């Protein structure tokens, strides 16, 4: 699913239900008085932060959101049911702006609903107007309208870390294993160079697809792609242990990075050796040793088929980023 980070929508809270005029009747008895119930309150609208960073893509075709209207009052003094609230899930890091009054809601926490529009009050039924001077009131009121406005919903994220590497290195698989992202695996679509994003606690991880695809001359690179890789704090360079010559593999990406942007190439880089399950321990040690001759610093080893290695990687990444 394409990454969506901006939406313009109209959002409406529910209208209140109307109050009604009803009378109490009982068989064989005379007039017993007013019994029209009040209308229910219209539903409020909340936004709530979730960790699924692709959430806005689900609303891509939506132009309008609306909470439920309150039910009208009923006979026998029964009040109308309140309209259900509407809770709109957005990724943490989303800024929700009411374009009619410029009020902005910055959604930075998980699971805490923030009220953005209030539902209308229910109207009053005729029973409400009963008084010693008014035993048969005809009065009632209509429900109030719920608030409504146009909103701009923007995801304002900067990736803390980006996974780079050759196609097939296992970047998307890692992003999926470390976060709740749903990046496509084994998908070589270099024409869409949108980053896949996932949240690892407070950090956003980006899987940068195919840096190699004409990256140096900037061909086809979207603005979001550039923004993410330029502002990212650290790079995790993924190298599959399947490669017989891991140094050559490493250098391909390094050269591409240098040609792409000298500033980006200067960022701190950590190596993640992927697909440890594909080689024997001896071959693994040999390949890691050869790379250590050209790159010093910390490195990680991982296979998506071993949860322990994923957990270690996850902890390692967290420790690194929290120390930045
Ligand atoms: N054996 C093995 N295969 C993996 C591992 N990680 C990813 N793959 C496979 O390698 C291929 C490329 O993975 P993908 O995550 O799409 O790589 P990307 O191009 O770097 O995003 C897919 O077929 C994955 O199933 C791993 O740890 N072990
Ligand atoms: Mg990929």
- Whole-number pLDDT of residue 188: 57
Q: Which domain holds residue 1?
A: 1-156
- Whole-number pLDDT of residue 166: 86
270 CA from centroid of ligand 1 (Å): 19
pTM: 0.66
| Chosen domain end from 99, 129, 156 | 156
| Chosen domain end from 156, 187, 216 | 156
Q: Are residues 55 and 182 in the same domain?
A: no
Total structural domains within the chain: 2
Query: Mean of the pLDDT values across residues 139-151?
Result: 98
Place of tokens 């590497």: 165
Neighbours of 200 (CB within 10 A): 19
Q: Are residues 281 and 185 in the same domain?
A: yes
User: Which CATH number do you get for residue 221?
Assistant: 3.40.50.300
Place of tokens 């702006």: 97
For the segment 231-266, what is each residue's pLDDT rounded down to a tens digit? Answer: 788 999 999 999 999 999 999 889 888 887 788 889
Closest ligand 1 atom to residue 166 Cα is 20
For the segment 36-80, what is each residue's pLDDT rounded down to a tens digit? Answer: 999 999 999 999 998 887 788 899 899 999 999 999 999 999 999
168 CA from centroid of ligand 2 (Å): 7
- Whole-number pLDDT of residue 191: 43
Residue with CA at minimum distance from ligand 1 atom 14: 170
Collapsed DSSP state (helix, strand, coil) of residue 193: coil
185 CA from centroid of ligand 1 (Å): 7
**Does any ligand 1 atom lie closer than 6 A to the CB of residue 303?**
yes
Distance of CA 8 to CAs 59, 61, 67, 286, Å?
10, 10, 17, 54
Neighbours of 145 (CB within 10 A): 16
User: Which CATH number do you get for residue 147?
Assistant: 2.70.210.12
Percent of the chain clearing pLDDT 70 (strictly above): 90
Distance CA 107, CA 292 (A): 43
Mean per-residue pLDDT over the chain, rounded: 88
């Amino acid at each position: 699913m394409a990454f969506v980070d901006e939406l313009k929508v109209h959002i409406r809270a529910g209208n209140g239900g109307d109050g009604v005029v009803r009378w109490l009747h009982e068989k064989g008895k005379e007039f017993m008085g007013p019994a029209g119930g009040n209308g229910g309150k219209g539903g409020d609208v909340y936004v709530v932060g979730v960790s699924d960073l692709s959430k806005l893509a689900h609303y891509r075709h939506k132009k309008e959101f609306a909470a439920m209207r309150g039910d009208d009052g009923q006979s026998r003094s029964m009040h109308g049911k309140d309209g259900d609230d509407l809770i709109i899930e957005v990724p943490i890091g989303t800024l929700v702006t009411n374009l009619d009054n410029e009020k902005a809601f910055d959604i930075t926490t998980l699971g805490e609903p923030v009220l953005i529009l209030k539902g209308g009050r229910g109207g009053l039924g005729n029973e409400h107007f009963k008084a010693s001077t008014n035993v048969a009131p005809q009065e009632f009121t209509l429900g109030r309208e719920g608030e409504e406005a146009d909103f701009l919903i923007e995801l304002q994220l900067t990736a803390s870390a980006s996974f780079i590497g050759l196609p097939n290195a296992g970047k998307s698989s890692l992003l999926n294993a470390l976060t709740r992202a749903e990046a496509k695996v084994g998908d070589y679509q270099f024409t869409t160079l949108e980053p896949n994003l996932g949240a690892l606690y407070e950090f956003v991880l980006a899987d940068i697809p195919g840096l190699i695809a004409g990256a140096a001359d900037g061909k086809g690179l979207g603005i979001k792609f550039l923004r993410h890789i330029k502002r990212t704090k650290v790079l995790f360079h993924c190298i599959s242990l399947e490669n017989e010559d891991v140094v050559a593999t490493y250098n391909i990406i390094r050269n591409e990075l240098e040609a792409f942007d000298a500033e980006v190439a200067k960022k701190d880089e950590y190596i993640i050796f992927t697909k440890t399950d594909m080689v024997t321990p001896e071959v693994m040690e040999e390949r890691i040793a050869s790379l250590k001759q050209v790159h010093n610093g910390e490195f990680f080893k991982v296979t998506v088929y071993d949860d322990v290695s994923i957990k270690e990687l996850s902890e390692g990444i967290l420790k690194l980023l929290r120390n930045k």
